[in-house]
Amino acid sequence: MRTIAELEAKLAEPSEALIKDIAALDGDIMLLGIGGKMGPSLARLAMNAIKEAGVNKKVIGASRFSSGTLKEELEADGVETIQIDLLDDQALQQLPNVENVIYMAGNKFGTTGNEHFTWAMNSYLPGRVAEKYKSSRIVAFSTGNVYPLTPVFSGGATEKTPPNPNGEYGQSSLGRERVFEHFSRKYNFPLTVFRLNYAIDLRYGVLLELAKTVKEGRPVDVTMGHANVIWQGDANEMAIRSLNAADTPPLFLNVTGPETISLRWVAKEFADRFGTEAQIIGQESDTALLSNATKAMQLFGYPRVSLLQMIDWIAEWVEAGGDTWNKPTHFQEREGKY
């Protein structure tokens, strides 16, 4: 892939399993916080699955839409849009009632020095949303940052691993989960808590950051030496399919790729493709932020895009000077400060 159009088309390509699940899903779909990195491609994927299934459903996206042309672009793709500050409770209550809600709103980067806003977005707002949509089924995006660092050779945290987040982003994200869980149990609405890390496409993510570092001849610090990644298209698909899997009591689900990836190995893979040497500094720690996604694989199958395919695509993208977003993941962070 060498163009944004090709990338967006690939991200929005539904599988037969998704088409089948979307056909079985009752009602319209609301994406709260559609303006983030994943929301637009998730909406387009849902629209394409609806068309392929031959069913009549709306996809509605709510966001501030504070800059750019995203609102118009989504509307051109058939997505209904609502411009809103979700923290404005009066506006929130005026949103249309729908049967299915995917909650993607939250704050991570810029938490340090602005902790109060992070807690409002990540822990307060979910309660207001849960009250508003207490008759819906909800998929609530969360993060692997609710887990502690785990030994590299343990296979990563499972859904049975007790949460123990490091730093206020992870703590407030656990707050989001607990608040949604409380209202799910109170009102008996189906809920999936979608613990994701790390989604990537060609414009951002762990692999892109490593590729650019290697390509530019900068040293790769492997102190946080291991990670998990998943193609954004696969993560989006699992999020939509998680609506059908939502349950009471809630379903907690780790969503990432199947491999525990050595970042030293990935750096060398990129170096081979670029015809250069990877400059490695540091020594791998015994622990890392890792999630075990076998439960998600059992439900939805393995991701369609493999790790090596992602590496190949990103190497080609970087070589071609493809557009990138200045949205670093800070995957190297071991103290939970974002």
* Separation CA 136–CA 75 (nearest Å): 24
Res. 244: pLDDT tops 90: yes
pLDDT confidence tier of residue 100, bands split at 50, 70 and 90? very high
Percent of the chain having pLDDT more than 70? 97
pLDDT, tens only, 270-299: 999 999 999 999 999 999 999 999 999 999
- Highest CATH level, class, for 4-202+229-258+289-303: alpha beta
Return the DSSP state at 188: T
Question: So what's the pLDDT on residue 142?
Answer: 97
- Positive or negative, the CA dihedral 159, 236, 85, 99 is negative
What average pLDDT does the structure give for the chain? 94
Q: What is the pTM assigned to this prediction?
A: 0.95
Q: State the Rg of the chain over Cα.
A: 19
Mean pLDDT of 303-315: 97
| CA nearest to 291, candidates 326, 253, 336 | 253
Mean pLDDT of 200-226: 95
* Separation CA 258–CA 275 (nearest Å): 28
- Count of beta carbons in the 10 Å neighbourhood of residue 319: 13
Least confident of 100-114, 127-141, 212-226, 270-284: 100-114
Three-state DSSP class for residue 18: helix
What the block records as the tokens of 161 is: 């691993």
Contact 59, 43 (CB under 8 A): yes
Res. 330: pLDDT tops 70: no
